[in-house]
Amino acid sequence: MSENQIRPPLRTLGLIGTGMIGGGLARLAVAAGLDVVLSNSRGPETLTELVTELGGHARAATPAEAARAGDLVVATIPLRAYPRLSAADLAGKIVIDTMNYYPERDDRIAELDAAERTSSEMVQRHLAGSRVVKAFNNIDFRRLVTSARPAGATDRSALPVAGDDADAKARVAELLDLIGYDAVDIGTLAESWRSEPGTSGYVRPYMGARPQGMDEEAQRRWFFESPGVPVGVDRVRELAATTDRVAPGGARAALSED
C-alpha cells in the first residue's frame, strides 16, 4: 500500500477459536468498538453465553463465516489443529497467528524440534494465500486483558509482532493500538521464535515477580489476582533482541489457546 493510500478503518474482527486468548481478544475488541464474529470447532450454539456477555457487537458463526467477515482474522487454536484452518476461506486475509508449540499438548513435530522453521512459518505455508502475522502469543490470557491501556498512557505495555508482509504487520499494529497496546516489530516469521515459549519475553515479564513460598493454591490465586506489570516498547525490543532460542517443551499449555 502506498503512502498516499488510506487504509479503511478496522470494523470487524473474526476469531477462529474462542478459548482463553480468543475470549480475551473478543472482550478487548468489543470494548474498543469493534464488531466480533466468534467461532470454534464445536459450533455457534456453544457460544451463546459469551455472545450474551459481549452484547450487540458480537455474534456467533462458523469458522468459514468468521473468516469471511473479519477485516482481520485471528487463528487462536491449539497448534496441532492448524491444518484444519481453511486455506480457501482465509485466502486474501490477514491472519493473526496466536498459536504456540507445546509438545506436551500438540505431540512432537519434527521440523519444529529441529528448529528447521518456526510454527508460524508452518502456518503460512498452509495458508499460502493469506498474510500471516504472529501476535498475542507471548502474554497470558489474564494479563492480556488487565494490561491494556489507552494510547499515551505512561504504563502502556507493548507486544511483539512478526511477519513477512510489512503492510499486514502495520494493520495488526493498528488493532493492537485500538485494544490497548503498542506494537514492536521483531522481524519476519523466521524470527517469530523470539516471542515463543521459553524465551525471555514470553509471559513472565508481564506477570511480574511471583512471591516466594506459596503453595499450589496460593500460586493459583496469585495468577488470577495479580494485575501484572507494564512492559514497554524498549523492554520488549530488548528482550526480543537478546533472547536465546530454546528447545521446545515444558511450557504451560494452560496459558494459551482454545
Tens-place pLDDT, residues 153-211: 999 999 999 999 999 999 999 999 999 999 999 999 999 999 999 999 999 999 988 88
Asked, for residue 155, whether it belongs to a domain, the answer is yes
Domain CATH for 59: 3.40.50.720
pLDDT at 227: 87
What average pLDDT does this structure show over 8-34? 96
- Residues recorded for the chain: 258
Q: Is the pTM of this model over 0.85?
A: yes
How far the first Cα of the chain sits from its last, in Å, is 33
Position 255 pLDDT exceeds 90: no
Where residue 195 falls (left for φ over 0; alpha for ψ -120 to 50; beta otherwise) is: alpha
Instruction: Report if residue 110 sits inside a domain.
Output: yes
Strand partners for 160: 184
In a domain, residue 20? The reply is yes
**222 has pLDDT over 60:** yes
Total domains present in the chain: 1
Domain that holds residue 25: 12-245
E strands in 21-77: 35-39, 58-60, 72-75
